[in-house]
Structure 1
C-alpha cells in the first residue's frame, strides 16, 4: 500500500571455462556479462536507487586494466551501466567482437568474474559514492578488493573505533566503506602472510606473486573480518587476483542462493532469479547457510566453508511476505496461506454475509495473498452448500439445488494504482491533494450501501496511503462496510538489518498505542519505559532487553486496531471501517522456516537491534518533549 524501501540485491557469476568456450557454444564471449544483466533485471524489485557492476579479467597482461567497475544512480541505473559497457563495443567490427583474444586484451568487462548490485538506501545517504560495488586499489593484484552487499550493520561505530585504534583513517563514515577498509586490511595481512612463506621457500620476483595468488585463503580474511559485526548481511566480493566470495550473516537474516554446473558458479539474493536466468529447476539451487561462505579461488575451485558459528534462526519473514518476488515456489505457497488463514477472522467482520461481500486487493504485491483469501472463502462457501443440502429432509428439487449452488464468492478489481503524480510538487497542500489520486477505483463494482468491501494488502506500515488515498476512494463506492486486511501482523518495531524502517513514529501501530496510553492517562508507563530504555543503554548490549515491548502489553490487538482506524479515517468518510491483521501464530504457521519476526514481536536476533530500538524510543520521547514539553 505504501512502498517500503527494499533490501538490496546481489548477483555473482564465475565462468568456469575459457571465454573461447562460450564464444563457440553460445556465439558470444559475453555469456557471463549477459547473464549478469538478466540476474540484475530479475531483481530490479530489490533496488531502484542505483546499480553497479564489476568484472575481473584473469588473463590481463601487466600494464593493462584487469578490474573494471561501472555505477549509476536512479531507477534506470541497470540500463545505464550496461549501456555504458556496451558503448565500448559499438565501433567494433563483427570480427573484432568475435575475437576472444582481442576482447581479453583490449575490451573492458571481458573477463571471467562478474558481480552486480542493486541499491536501496537504508541510511538516507545518497550519491554515486554510496552506490556499490566499492573498490580498494593496490599495485598487487591480490590486494585489490571489490565489495558489495545486501546488509546493514548495527555496530558500525564500534568497528570504526577498532579501525582508528589500528591507526587507520577511514575517509567516509558508512558501514559499506568501513567494511571495505576492514576487509581490505585483513586481505593485506593474508597477502603478507603468503609473502613471508614465499620468501622462506626461496622464491623471488614473479614467483612470489604467483605463490601469493595461488595460496590466498579467503576464509582467513572472512573469519577475521566478520566476527565482530552485528547485523544482517550477504557480503560479496572479488579480488584482483581472481578470488570470489559471498558470506551470509550467522543469524541467517538476509538471503542468498547459489548454483553450480560445469560452466558457471552463480549466486543471487532470490532463487527464481537463478531458475529463470539459467533455465534450471528449483531443487538444483542451494541456499547459502547462515554463517557460511561460498568461495571460489583463482583456479575456479569452489567450496562452502563455515566462517562463523550459527548464532540464531532468524531468516527474515518480511522477505517472504513482501520483498522477494512471489514467483518463488515456496514464497507463492506461503503468501497464499497467509491470505487463506484469515478467512475466519474476516467472516466475523462481515457477519458471515458472503452473499453481500466483495473481495479485492491493493495492487500489486498483495495479489497472491488475495488468491489465498479467495480460496479460503470458496472452501467455506462449499462447506455451507454441503451442510445445507445434507440438512434437507427431502430430495432437493432442481430449483432448490440451483439456488444453493448459485452462491459464490464475489471478487472484483476494485483498486488501480496510477502513475505517481506528486514527485515534482513541494507545496504541502498540493502534495496532499495529488496523493489522494495515487489509486483509482472501478466504479459501480459493488452495490452501494448493501455490499461489504474486503480489500487485502500485504502490510499496513505507516498508514499514510490509507489515510491520504485508499479510504477516500473506496468510500466513493459507498460500501456498507470497508474491511482492510493485512496479510502480515501489526508492524510495531523498527528494522535495523537492511530495510528503511528505523523510526518508531513511522508505524501506525506504535502511534495508536501511544495515543491509547495518553487517552487513558497512562503517562507513568510512558515515562517508566523512557527511563528503562535509558538505563538499558548503559548496560553492555548483550545484557539489554527491549523495553519498548512494555507499552504494548496493556492493550489487545483489537484495541490498537480500533485506534488505528480512528486515527487514519479521513475527514468526511462515514463508512464503517475495520482493520484485520494477521496474527503472529498465523505468520509462523504460513511461514514456518523463516522465524525472523522482530518487526512484529520486538524479538531482535542481535544485541545491536535491541540497543537501537531502546535508543529509538528515547529519541522519540525527547523529540516529543522538545515540541510539546510534556508527554
Structure 2
C-alpha cells in the first residue's frame, strides 16, 4: 500500500497452565511467559506503532503485594520500552531472591501466569497514553479487577453509553474503549455480588469466600449480557484479577483471533503465524476463534469454548486482513495474495494490448511482492499456453531456430524501484514536501528501454493516491516508459471503515473524488444533491433503518470509467508517459479470498447497521466541510484517565 493507512490493532494473551517452578526447571527461567509475550508482540509490530501495552496477573501474590500489573508506552519503540521497564523492576531484588522461585511467585512484579499484550493504532482520533490498552479497573477484590485490551471499533457507542447511564453509572469517557471497560466491569461486579450473596459464608474465612467466588464466576454469562447491544468488529481479551482470562470475537467475524493450547500454555493472537513462530507449531495446530465465540480459561486452568453471541447468518471477516494487514507468512494468506495477482492477468493483458515483448513487470511497495509473484505465475502460464498454441498451429513448418526463439520468450520482470526509507523520516511539511516526496523511491536505471517499453507496476491497494501522484509516477517517468500501468490487487476503495481501520473520511478515497468529478463534468450535480438530501433525512433515524445512499454516487459509472478518471487525476502535467490504472474486481477478490467476504470498503455492503450510519454521516460531513469531526457520535464530556 503506497498510501500509509493505520492498521488494525494487535492482541496477544498467554496463560501459563503450570506453576512457575515448572518453567524454571524445564526452560531454565521463570520468565518463560514474559519472554513468549515479548515475541508475540514483536511479531505483530506491524499492527500498531502508536503505542503498546502489557498487563499481567499473578496467581500467587502474597497479601500486601500487587497481583495485577500494567506497563504502557507510546511510539514505535513502545514494546522495547515496556519490556525494558519490566526488567528494570527486577533490579530491586537480589540474585538470591530472583533465584528463589517461591519468593518470585509471591513478590516479584510481572513474574506472573497470565499476560495480555496490545499493539495500538488509533482509529478515532483519540490519542495519548490513557487510550493505550490494556485499560485497567482496579479493586481490592481480585475478582472485581479487570484488564481489557482489544482490536475493535464500535459503531454504536452512543447506545452503549446510554445503557450505562440507565444502569445508574457515570462513565468517565465517551471513547468505545472506556465504555466497553465500564460495561464489562459493571456486569463483572454484578456477577461477583451474585456469587457472594449465594455463598454460605458462615463456615468460611474471608479468603475462602474470595476463592469460592473466583471458582464460581460465570464468565460466559457476563460476556453475553455486556455484549448484547454491541455493534462493530472486535477481538476482545481480558484478564480478571482472580486468574480468569477470556477472548471474545464479534459475531460477524470481522476481526480475527487465533488460539492454541496444550498442557503447558494457552495462547491467543491476532494472526496465526505469530503463534506458529513463537511456539514452533504447524498450521493445523493453531485454530481460529469462531464468530461470536469466546475462549475462556479459568483460574484452575480449565479451557473451554463458549458461543456468547449467535453467529450471524452472513459472516464477513475483513478482506483487508488478507490483502494487506496480516503478515504474509500465513499459509493461507500467502496463497490468497498470489491468487489476487494471478487473477489480474486478463486485465493486464488488455492494458498492454498483448505486447509482452515490450513490457516490463515490477511491484511497489514491498507488501505487494506476493501478489507480484502470483501475477508473474499467471503471466508465465498465459505465455506458455500461447507458445504451445503457436507450435501446434505451425507444426512441422517451424525450424529448430524458430522453435528455440518461441521457447526462449520470457516475462520481463525487473526490480524497477527501491524505497529509500531513511529519506522519508525527514520529509518536511510546506513547499518542499512534494519535491522531497518525489525522491522517496530510487529507480533502477537501465531496467527499461527508453521510449520503447511499457511498465506494469502492481500495488496491493490504492486509497488516496497521494504517494502515486507525488512520488511514484513521477519517479517511474524518469525511465521514459511508453506507458505506465499501475495495477491494484484490491478493488477500488470507495467507502469508509468503522471496524478498526483508519479510513473514515470520504475525501480520503481517490475513487470517491473521481466519481464526484465525473458527476460534475457530466452535468450530474443533482445526483450529489439528492444523495445529500436523502442522507440528511435519515440522520437521526435508528441505525437499523439507515440506507447507504452513497452508492448512488458511483452508480452512473462503470469501474473502468472511474479507473480512467483516477489515472487522469493522478497524472500531473509534467508526466510524459501515458498512465493507466487497473483495479481488481470484487468478484475476483472473493475468488481469491473465499472465506473472507468482508468487502464493505469496496461494495458499501456493511455487515452491521452501524456501518450504514457511519457512511451516511461521513458523506454529510464531506458535503458540509466538517470532515475533521469524529466519525462517531460525540458528547461534550470531560476526559479523565483511569
Same fold (TM over 0.5): yes
Question: Where does residue 231 of structure 2 map in the other structure?
Answer: 230
Tell me how far 1:624 sits from its aligned partner: 8.6
Distance in structure 1 (CA, Å) of the matches to 2:282 and 2:20: 26
1:106 aligns to 2:76 (yes or no): no
Tell me how far 1:537 sits from its aligned partner: 2.5
Question: Where does residue 141 of structure 1 map in the other structure?
Answer: 142
Q: CA-to-partner distance for each residue in 1:522-561, whole Å, 9 max, x for gaps?
A: 1111111001111233332112211001111100011101
Instruction: Verify the 8 A CA contact 2:480 2:576 in the aligned structure 1.
Output: no
Q: 616-625 or 576-585: which moved more? A: 616-625
Q: CA-to-partner distance for each residue in 1:275-313, whole Å, 9 max, x for gaps?
A: 110011100111100001000011110100011011231
For CA contacts below 8 A with separation 6 or more, give which structure has more relative contact order.
2
Distance in structure 1 (CA, Å) of the matches to 2:189 and 2:417: 56
Distance in structure 2 (CA, Å) of the matches to 1:594 and 1:31: 35
Distance in structure 2 (CA, Å) of the matches to 1:424 and 1:125: 25
* Secondary structure of the corresponding residue to residue 531 of structure 1: helix
- Select the residue among 393, 417, 427 that pairs with 2:419: 417
Question: Where does residue 165 of structure 2 map in the other structure?
Answer: 164
1:558 aligns to 2:549 (yes or no): no
Counterparts of 1:13-32 in structure 2, within 5 Å, are 13-32=14-33
Instruction: Verify the 8 A CA contact 1:250 1:309 in the aligned structure 2.
Output: yes
Question: Where does residue 280 of structure 1 map in the other structure?
Answer: 281
Instruction: Verify the 8 A CA contact 2:49 2:119 in the aligned structure 1.
Output: yes
Distance in structure 2 (CA, Å) of the matches to 1:74 and 1:206: 41
Are the structure 2 counterparts of residues 361 and 427 from structure 1 closer, same or farther at C-alpha, using a change threshold of 3 Å? Answer: closer
Distance in structure 2 (CA, Å) of the matches to 1:90 and 1:63: 20
Question: Where does residue 219 of structure 1 map in the other structure?
Answer: 220
* Secondary structure of the corresponding residue to residue 428 of structure 1: coil
Segments of 4+ in structure 1 off by > 6 A? none
Distance in structure 1 (CA, Å) of the matches to 2:387 and 2:56: 62
Q: 411-420 or 266-275: which moved more? A: 411-420
Question: Where does residue 315 of structure 1 map in the other structure?
Answer: 317
Distance in structure 2 (CA, Å) of the matches to 1:19 and 1:200: 32
**Structure 1: runs of 5+ lacking an equivalent:** 627-631
- Select the residue among 477, 500, 503 that pairs with 2:502: 500
Tell me how far 1:387 sits from its aligned partner: 1.1
Instruction: Verify the 8 A CA contact 1:29 1:98 in the aligned structure 2.
Output: no
Q: CA-to-partner distance for each residue in 1:307-357, whole Å, 9 max, x for gaps?
A: 101123110001000000000000000000000011111011111011111
Instruction: Verify the 8 A CA contact 1:23 1:98 in the aligned structure 2.
Output: no
- Select the residue among 598, 601, 604 that pairs with 1:599: 601
Counterparts of 1:77-88 in structure 2, within 5 Å, are 77-88=78-89
Question: Where does residue 300 of structure 1 map in the other structure?
Answer: 301
Counterparts of 1:269-418 in structure 2, within 5 Å, are 269-311=270-312, 312-394=314-396, 396-418=398-420
Tell me how far 1:92 sits from its aligned partner: 5.2
Instruction: Verify the 8 A CA contact 1:28 1:98 in the aligned structure 2.
Output: no
Tell me how far 1:571 sits from its aligned partner: 2.8
Tell me how far 1:95 sits from its aligned partner: 4.5
Question: Where does residue 629 of structure 1 map in the other structure?
Answer: none
Question: Where does residue 483 of structure 2 map in the other structure?
Answer: 481
Q: CA-to-partner distance for each residue in 1:128-147, whole Å, 9 max, x for gaps?
A: 11111000011101000000
Are the structure 2 counterparts of residues 521 and 207 from structure 1 closer, same or farther at C-alpha, using a change threshold of 3 Å? Answer: same
Q: 422-431 or 264-273: which moved more? A: 422-431
Distance in structure 2 (CA, Å) of the matches to 1:557 and 1:315: 24
Distance in structure 2 (CA, Å) of the matches to 1:516 and 1:214: 64
Tell me how far 1:162 sits from its aligned partner: 1.7
Q: CA-to-partner distance for each residue in 1:469-514, whole Å, 9 max, x for gaps?
A: 0000000000010000000000000000000000111000000000
Distance in structure 2 (CA, Å) of the matches to 1:203 and 1:227: 35
Are the structure 2 counterparts of residues 210 and 37 from structure 1 closer, same or farther at C-alpha, using a change threshold of 3 Å? Answer: same
Are the structure 2 counterparts of residues 41 and 511 from structure 1 closer, same or farther at C-alpha, using a change threshold of 3 Å? Answer: same
Tell me how far 1:200 sits from its aligned partner: 7.0
* Secondary structure of the corresponding residue to residue 246 of structure 1: strand
Tell me how far 1:169 sits from its aligned partner: 1.7
Question: Where does residue 445 of structure 2 map in the other structure?
Answer: 443
Instruction: Verify the 8 A CA contact 1:346 1:580 in the aligned structure 2.
Output: yes
Tell me how far 1:88 sits from its aligned partner: 2.0
1:261 aligns to 2:268 (yes or no): no
